[in-house]
């Protein structure tokens, strides 16, 4: 009778949905007690994924690829939030066994960058629209560019969370094709590129992204000028971007460079800000810090006295 009672309980447990608390209790139960295998195999199949670690990693990689190719905007945003929550380090779910590896994530990044280059070529008239994948031609070009930028920024959030975003700074700093096309396309298109730069500046300025001085310098030398040009459009089309945080982070990132390099970039900003005002980021606070560090009060007084 006891055995029949246990079997009846197991059949009941297998047939009903579980809460997370009940699932944890079952895991603990089966870790301590052993039951007849034929009786418990269905329950164990619900508790444990009986597959290799490679297949788990492949699943995560497929999820990331699928999201970047998702055509429906609402579904894409919902799935991005879902998968990011599953992969982030603060998630309650078990890590390390099913996360996509660094190479997988950068493969997706490279694919999105390649698509972005093709779309910008279309926008600049370098290639004919007929070369675009047929299923995409029914959608506005601006929308397709924005979608790829959204994909890249979402991937960056995952890279930052896993602390493996340094290589993307090098990748973005050396996007020569995109930089060459930036000046030849409409401002309402090209500002999308500065949305990627903005995410990188904010991550560096808020200490979420750590990279070599050479990488920071290359990024600023490449994309600081375009950011000055696009800042007005970014203000009008924020798309969730915190402009005050961007201004603060840009200043903080500039201040991480050697003073000689800061000199060139702050001078460029000063000229642009004096002409365009609020259409340009306000880096006055960072400029004051740079000035104080470059011309200490004691040395300034000594220079005046010597003259």
| Strand, coil or helix: 291 | helix
Q: What pTM value is reported for the model? A: 0.83
Taking CA atoms, 217 is separated from 145, 221, 255, in Å, by: 27, 6, 11
First to last CA, the chain: 106
Q: Which of 134, 153, 239 is nearest to 203 (CA)?
A: 153
Query: How confident is the model over 149-192, as pLDDT tens digits?
Result: 999 999 999 999 999 999 999 999 999 999 999 989 999 999 99
Taking CA atoms, 3 is separated from 6, 9, 35, 39, 41, in Å, by: 5, 10, 10, 11, 17
User: Average pLDDT of 121-128?
Assistant: 80
Band of residue 134 on the pLDDT scale cut at 50, 70, 90: very low
131 token code pair: 């070369």
Whether the pLDDT of residue 35 is over 50: the answer is: yes
Residues contacting 141, CB < 8 A, separation 6+: 119, 122, 123, 189
Q: Of 44-53, 55-64, 243-252, which gets the smallest average pLDDT?
A: 44-53
Question: Which pLDDT does position 38 carry in this prediction?
Answer: 79
34 vs 96 pLDDT, higher one:
34
- Given a contact cutoff of 8 angstroms between Cβ atoms, the answer to whether 173 and 220 are in contact is no
CA angle 125, 126, 130 (to 5 degrees): 75
207 token code pair: 């200490």
Residues contacting 298, CB < 8 A, separation 6+: none
């Amino acid at each position: 009778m006891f055995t029949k009672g246990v079997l009846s309980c197991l059949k009941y447990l297998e047939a009903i949905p579980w809460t997370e608390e009940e699932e944890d209790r079952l895991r603990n139960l089966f870790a301590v007690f052993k039951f007849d295998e034929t009786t418990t195999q269905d329950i164990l199949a619900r508790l444990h994924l009986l597959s290799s670690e490679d297949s788990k990693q492949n699943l995560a990689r497929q999820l990331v690829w699928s999201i970047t190719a998702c055509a429906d905007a609402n579904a894409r945003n919902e799935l991005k939030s879902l998968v990011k929550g599953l992969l982030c380090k603060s998630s309650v779910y078990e890590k390390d066994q099913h996360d996509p590896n660094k190479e997988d994530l950068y493969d997706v990044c490279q694919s999105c960058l390649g698509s972005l280059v093709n779309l910008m070529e279309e926008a600049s008239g370098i290639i004919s629209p007929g070369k675009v994948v047929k299923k995409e031609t029914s959608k506005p070009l601006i929308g397709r560019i924005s979608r790829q930028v959204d994909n890249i920024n979402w991937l960056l959030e995952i890279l930052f969370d896993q602390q493996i975003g340094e290589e993307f700074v090098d990748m973005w700093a050396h996007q020569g094709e995109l930089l060459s096309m930036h000046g030849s396309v409409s401002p309402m298109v090209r500002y999308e590129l500065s949305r990627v730069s903005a995410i990188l500046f904010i991550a560096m300025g808020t200490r979420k992204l750590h990279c070599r001085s050479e990488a920071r310098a290359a990024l600023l030398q490449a994309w600081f000028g375009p950011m000055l040009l696009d800042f007005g459009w970014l203000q009008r089309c924020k798309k969730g971007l915190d402009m005050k945080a961007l201004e603060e982070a840009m200043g903080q990132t500039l201040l991480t460079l050697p003073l000689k390099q800061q000199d060139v970039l702050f001078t460029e900003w000063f000229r642009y800000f004096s002409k365009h005002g609020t259409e340009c980021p306000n880096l006055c606070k960072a400029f004051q810090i740079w000035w104080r560090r470059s011309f200490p009060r004691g040395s300034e007084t000594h220079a005046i006295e010597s003259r």
